[in-house]
């Protein structure tokens, strides 16, 4: 069953994830494989994925290994079948959590570590002191965001969704407050 037999909406979704892959730090093939597994009603084996996407079996195998390393697909076995089947977690909130944790581990933690080490250095010039102060500000912001993120991670998905909705409300209220404060400043002598 070649890719052209995928329903149009599915083809569109898979193609979009492939295009977005490079923006998210994965290659196009991996993005398409994940999109197909995500929308599939059942677990798929590598041969089915290769056939549906018209990819080589070796590209699919490499893509599946990368998705397993990111913990975005689960390996399943079917009784009487020696092949490995892959499925995405069913809970989109869980997918978000895994992605956020992996990105943190791969990108944020090394940056925080580098910034901590830089702050331990003794600056020898005003330029280095200035740079170190800017690095401290960046470290403090990232550290604060990660502590907030840890708190959000502990919330039930329903509570986190309510919190996100409150964020939009707070932004609207603050935007209104800023407009009122700004117009009050303009009127002041």
Express each pLDDT in 29-77 by its tens digit: 999 999 999 999 999 999 999 999 999 999 999 999 999 999 999 999 9
Look at the block and give the residue holding tokens 């209104």: 176
Show pLDDT as tens, one digit a residue, over the chain (189 residues).
444 589 999 999 999 999 998 788 789 999 999 999 999 999 999 999 999 999 999 999 999 999 999 999 999 999 999 999 999 999 888 888 898 888 899 999 999 999 999 999 999 999 999 999 999 999 999 999 999 988 888 888 888 888 877 766 766 766 665 565 565 555 555
Q: At what angle do helices 109-120 and 126-153 cross, to 10 degrees?
A: 140
Report yes or no on 179 lying in a domain. no
DSSP 106: I
Report yes or no on 180 lying in a domain. no
Q: Which DSSP string corresponds to 144-168?
A: HHHHHHHHHHTS-HHHHHHHHHHHH
Residues 59 and 102 in one domain: no
Report yes or no on 56 lying in a domain. yes
* Domain housing 113: 90-157
Q: Is residue 64 within 8 Å of residue 14, measured between CB atoms?
A: no
What does the pLDDT read at residue 122? 96
Report yes or no on 103 lying in a domain. yes
- In the predicted model, what is the mean pLDDT of the chain? 88
Half-sphere CA count of 106, side-chain side, radius 13 A: 12
* Residues whose CB is less than 8 angstroms from the CB of residue 152 and which lie 6 or more positions away in sequence, other chains included: 160, 163
- pTM of the entire predicted model: 0.72
Report yes or no on 174 lying in a domain. no
What does the pLDDT read at residue 177? 56
Residues 103 and 128 in one domain: yes
Please state the domain count of the chain: 2
Tokens representing residue 5 in the block: 């037999």
């Amino acid at each position: 069953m070649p890719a052209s037999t995928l329903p149009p909406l599915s083809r569109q979704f898979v193609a979009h994830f492939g295009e977005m892959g490079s923006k998210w730090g994965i290659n196009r093939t991996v993005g398409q494989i994940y999109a197909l597994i995500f929308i599939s009603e059942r677990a798929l084996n590598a041969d089915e994925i290769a056939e549906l996407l018209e990819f080589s079996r070796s590209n699919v195998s490499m893509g599946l290994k990368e998705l397993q390393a990111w913990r975005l697909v689960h390996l399943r076995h079917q009784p009487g079948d020696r092949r490995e089947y892959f499925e995405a977690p069913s809970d989109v909130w869980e997918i978000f959590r895994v992605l956020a944790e992996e990105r943190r581990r791969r990108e944020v933690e090394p940056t925080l570590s580098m910034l901590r080490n830089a702050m331990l250095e003794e600056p020898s010039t005003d330029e280095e002191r200035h740079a170190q102060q800017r690095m401290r500000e960046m470290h403090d912001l990232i550290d604060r965001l990660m502590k907030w993120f840890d708190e959000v991670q502990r919330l039930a998905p329903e509570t986190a969704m309510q919190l996100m909705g409150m964020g939009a409300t707070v932004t609207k209220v603050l935007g209104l407050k800023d407009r009122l404060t700004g117009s009050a400043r303009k009127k002041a002598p």
